[in-house]
Structure 1
Amino acid sequence: ELGYLAAEPADASEGGGIFNGDYSALGQLIIEPNANLSFGLGYVRKYWGKNNADISSGTGSFKTLDPFDGSPTTADNVGFQANWRVNDRIEVGGWFGTTWARPETNDDDDVIIMNGMFYVAFPDLFKEGNMGGIMVGVPPIVTDGGDDDSLEDDDTSLHIEAIYRFQLNDNISVSPGLFVITNPNHDDSNDTIWVTTLRTTFRF
């Protein structure tokens, strides 16, 4: 699979349009050796103009969002994911990603951002059609600040989540959950965050 996305393709001004503005160029390869095992490898090259950078899409530490203080930024992203259906009752999988980001004003001033997640899912847990799951991962974190050590995150956050999906009928499911973030913003001086969730999904 290949794709190209422009943020503002209809903008004809300087720094806009299909090729001169913010964009993402991507490719993905899916390998399925058998019905129970799948692997995915993906690559995305992204560009943000001045003051537009959002490298981790709001999911990581503040340092992963715009480490170069508004400078036009390019990022190369590589990700790997896997899923294994062990049997009818257990699935395991996860993903790992690395980003190499650099300001267009200095191609040698790279930072490295990593993220990952491991999960276990339990199809038909307690009732056919329902599913339980546990996830443990690390939100995007700057592991290497290049020439500037201050760009690195000092500590490491963990995202721990448990969820259970009630399949009410063929079209509606309800999924209560709980997730915990330790050392929020990859800073051990911050208190642990506990969040409860309730998601409802409608399928038509």
Structure 2
Amino acid sequence: MEIGGAPFGQLHAVLSGQFKLQRAAPDGGMQVLGFAMPGDLLGLDAIGTGRYANDAVALSECVICTIPYASLEQLMAHQPALARRLSQLLSASLAQRQDQMLFLGNARAPQRLARLLLDLGGRYSERGGSATDFQLCMSREDLAAYLALTVESVSRLLSMFKQNGLLAVSNRAITLLDTAGLRAIAAPPAATSSLPVLHSA
């Protein structure tokens, strides 16, 4: 799989399982940049630089399809539709990364977690699963590293969401009980001047 700094030569299509994408942070820790699910293509960010930027770490048993990029280039030379599709994937990946950075840089902690849970539910739904009842493959440490929060903050927010009837949580099993309430909390910072009041015990 991908190792940050290694020479680029292949793309990896996730067929089953989940990965976290991470890289070393300036403080010596690891920054989690995202989570890959079946249907996602890993390694797109290395096409331009010639080196993988991130480590891809399996969060569960995974099956991938390795695609040599040299072979893909040959196919794209004869299939313009394939080249256009790859360009679309690159553009979408860049836009998603920019949106993530902007949101995390401006959102409060409850907004960050609410949006992540809704996004995960949407991605599970796109793959034939439930948008409101799913298992988290990632640990709370991974969630904290992705959201730029402490593990304690993530645990406290999950408990607060549970107390307010927004979700049910048991270990890594999540049930979203009030998606409308979560969407209200996850609203972009510029779209609202105040957040719904959350009560903690």
- TM normalised by structure 1 equals 0.25
Q: Which structure shows the higher helix fraction?
A: 2
Higher gyration radius (CA)? 1
Q: Report which of the two has the higher share of strand.
A: 1
| TM-score, normalising length: structure 2 | 0.25
Higher relative contact order (CA 8 A, sep 6+): 2
